[in-house]
Amino acid sequence: MAIGKRIKFFRNRKNLTQKQLGEQLGFLGRTSDVRMAQYESEARIPKQNLVKEMAGILGVSPHALTVPDIDTYIGFLHTLFALEDIYRFRIIEKDGLICLCRDSSNSSPVDTVSNMLREWQQQAEKLENGEISREEYDEWRYRYPELDNSQHWAKTPSQEMSDYLVKKSEKKLKKMQ
């Protein structure tokens, strides 16, 4: 999830309007909601010091707002947190292993993600069974979705899935009030 969507997600969790958050950040009058709308639409990207201030107001780590750097352990973990928020993955322990699994209690466009992961698992199994070479496996991964013959990725456009999940999250937040 991009920074604008993350700002909106956490702002909604705090039941703040764009104007309220903008005012708490020190933007005055009419500019407060306009400025926040620009950040949420990504017409403007907030500087790091503003991200830190925003995170403080929203009660989250700055890592939760920014697009995580998966090359760091903290960035990787925040990527997993975003997967939980966006795709309803959850973390469980099974047979002594920590696993990510999809919450199957709700049917949604997330089913597309499950199908894509299933295709990945099948390719990894083919590699393990010697049905394909490491080169073929890597080619499938690094050229995905071009070489994916299941075409699950094409069923639900990313923006549609994102819009659906944002609406679902907003409805859940309203019910919690």
Q: In which region does residue 158 sit, left (phi positive, over 0), alpha (psi from -120 to 50) or beta (all else)?
A: alpha
Residues 8 and 57 placed together within one structural domain of the fold: yes
What does the pLDDT read at residue 69? 79
| Residue that is last in its domain, among 84, 115, 136 | 84
In a domain, 91, yes or no: no
Residues 69 and 116 placed together within one structural domain of the fold: no
d(Cα 13, Cα 47) in Å, to the nearest integer? 22
Q: Please name which of 1, 6, 8, 2 lies closest in space to residue 61, comparing C-alpha atoms.
A: 6
Residues 78 and 123 placed together within one structural domain of the fold: no
Q: What is the pLDDT of residues 10-24, one digit of tens each?
A: 999 999 999 999 999
- Number of structural domains the chain divides into: 2
What does the pLDDT read at residue 156? 46
The answer to whether 98 and 91 have CB atoms below 8 angstroms apart is yes
The answer to whether 81 and 114 have CB atoms below 8 angstroms apart is no
What does the pLDDT read at residue 118? 86
Q: Flag whether the pTM goes above 0.95.
A: no
Residues 17 and 54 placed together within one structural domain of the fold: yes
Which carries the bigger pLDDT value, residue 9 or residue 157? 9
Residues 23 and 74 placed together within one structural domain of the fold: yes
Residues 72 and 20 placed together within one structural domain of the fold: yes
Q: CATH no. for residue 20? A: 1.10.260.40
In a domain, 54, yes or no: yes
In a domain, 97, yes or no: no
Report helix angle 73-87 to 158-176, nearest 10.
Answer: 80
The answer to whether 61 and 55 have CB atoms below 8 angstroms apart is yes
What does the pLDDT read at residue 141? 86
Residues 7 and 79 placed together within one structural domain of the fold: yes
Q: Which residue range forms the structural domain that includes residue 130?
A: 107-176
